[in-house]
């Protein structure tokens, strides 16, 4: 028996109506205004080649990552040039397998997918729709499968067993993504003048989540969002996209399309790194729009502190010119605030300002 659900999945809604339901229609003042998006400047998002990160030119790459975190909060990491170099990059076959099995899952009959459905955010593995169907007033044009994936052995047996290759393919990708996240966190630590291990240590036992996002074609994309403007609550996000555009970031007050680059991951820092860097590095406002022609798959990997990790910057990052930007807080405290607030506001970091 299929579970009782608060809202049907998008595939069911589209089949029923052929148009955007009122539950997904944004108020006029809160629509994407697609005509004003800068679709050409996405090339300005830094593209950083990590091939030399482990060699004598490491400092040059670390400095480039630091500049990207300071000015953009977003950068892209090209793996094509290093896929054949040991311990560099996520192999192309692993990436292709991840996208393929994600599409396979969302093409399963709805009754099969609904075996994973839950609107309880405390569940480690769940299929749901929009963002938080329990609290939001307007839904987003997104179905997603949320997976906890670190430590992998604690969760993989709870993942979907259909498609048959799902656990093996996604487990391999999750392991590769974690290794890359740790290397990037080390580089970010160094770019701030800290010990290489600082950020990884500051995150405690750490956690890793993945969202396998499915955005079906939308009959009226100008009326809704895949996800409205928000900043990520975690430390660092590694985003795998298929070839369909949808991601946009805000730069200088304008929305800029981050069009997919072949063989690239998009990396962005989240609110925890903004706090750990004492506001030197900024998490960036981004959103997802949808289109009427093509479905879109994206797979963000969220690398997080453990719930009990106390988020506070290193003493070296606090001085007269850089007073403490946020009071110390646990990641669980922050995440509870974020989830309760939902995507009604871009970020909830301001709630942790001292005084």
Question: What percentage of the chain carries pLDDT values higher than 70?
Answer: 88
Domain count, the chain: 1
Residue 309 placed within a domain: yes
Determine how many CB atoms are found less than 10 A away from the CB of residue 119.
Answer: 19
pLDDT at position 94 is: 95
On whether residue 9 sits in a domain, the answer given is no
Nearest to 211 by CA among 179, 235, 239, 233: 239
pLDDT reading at 17 higher than 90: no
Cα–Cα distance measured from residue 289 to residue 248, given in angstroms and rounded to the nearest whole number: 8
Is 50 exceeded by the pLDDT of residue 224?
yes
Beta carbons within 10 angstroms of residue 214's beta carbon:
24
Query: How far is the C-alpha of 114 from the C-alpha of 249, rounded, in Å?
Result: 32
pLDDT at 269 over 70: yes
Q: Is the pLDDT of residue 296 over 60?
A: yes
Residue 167 pLDDT more than 50? yes
What residues make up the domain containing 47? Answer: 36-352
Is residue 6 in a domain? no
- CB-side exposure of 310: number of CA atoms within 13 Å? 5
Q: What pLDDT shows up at residue 12?
A: 67
Inter-residue contact 235 to 300 (CB < 8 Å): no
Q: Is residue 26 part of a domain?
A: no
Per-range mean pLDDT, top range of 33-47, 84-98, 314-328: 314-328
- Mean pLDDT, the chain, whole residue set: 87
Residue 53: which CATH number?
2.60.120.330
Q: Is residue 8 part of a domain?
A: no
pLDDT at 7: 55
pLDDT of residue 3: 44
- Residue 13 in any domain: the answer is no
Higher pLDDT, 38 or 236: 236
Least confident of 121-135, 227-241, 340-354: 340-354
User: For residue 199, is it within any domain?
Assistant: yes
Taking CA atoms, 113 is separated from 117, 121, 142, 273, 300, in Å, by 7, 17, 14, 35, 20
What pairs with residue 327 in β-bridges?
A: none
**At residue 116, does pLDDT exceed 70?**
yes
């Amino acid at each position: 028996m299929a579970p009782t659900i608060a809202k049907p999945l998008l595939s069911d809604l589209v089949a029923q109506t052929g148009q955007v339901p009122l539950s997904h229609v944004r108020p006029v003042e809160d629509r994407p205004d697609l005509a004003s998006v800068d679709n050409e400047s996405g090339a300005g998002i830094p593209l950083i080649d990590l091939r030399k990160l482990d060699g004598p030119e490491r400092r040059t790459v670390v400095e480039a990552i630091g500049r990207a975190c300071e000015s953009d909060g977003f950068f892209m990491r090209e793996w094509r040039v290093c896929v054949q170099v040991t311990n560099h990059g996520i192999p192309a076959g692993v990436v292709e397998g991840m996208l393929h099995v994600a599409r396979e899952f969302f093409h399963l009959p709805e009754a099969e997918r609904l075996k994973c459905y839950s609107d309880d955010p405390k569940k480690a593995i769940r299929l749901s729709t929009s963002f938080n169907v329990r609290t939001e007033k307007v839904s987003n044009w997104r179905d997603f499968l949320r997976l906890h994936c670190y430590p992998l052995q604690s969760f993989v047996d709870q993942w979907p067993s259909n498609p048959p290759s799902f656990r093996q393919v996604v487990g391999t990708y999750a392991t590769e993504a974690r290794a890359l996240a740790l290397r990037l966190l080390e580089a970010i630590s160094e770019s701030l003048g800290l010990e290489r291990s600082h950020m990884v240590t500051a995150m405690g036992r750490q956690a890793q989540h993945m969202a396998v996002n499915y955005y079906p074609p939308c009959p009226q994309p100008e009326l809704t969002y895949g996800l409205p403007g928000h900043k990520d609550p975690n430390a660092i996000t590694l985003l795998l996209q298929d070839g369909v555009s949808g991601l946009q970031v805000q730069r200088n007050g304008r929305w800029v399309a981050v069009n997919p680059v072949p063989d690239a991951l998009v990396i962005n820092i989240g609110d925890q790194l903004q706090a750990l860097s004492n506001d030197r590095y900024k998490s960036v406002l981004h959103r997802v729009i949808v289109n009427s022609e093509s479905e879109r798959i994206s797979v963000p990997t969220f690398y997080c502190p453990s719930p009990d990790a106390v988020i506070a910057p290193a003493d070296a990052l606090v001085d007269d010119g850089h007073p403490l930007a946020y009071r110390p807080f646990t990641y669980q405290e922050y995440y509870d605030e974020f989830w309760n607030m939902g995507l009604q506001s871009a970020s909830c970091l301001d709630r942790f300002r001292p005084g």
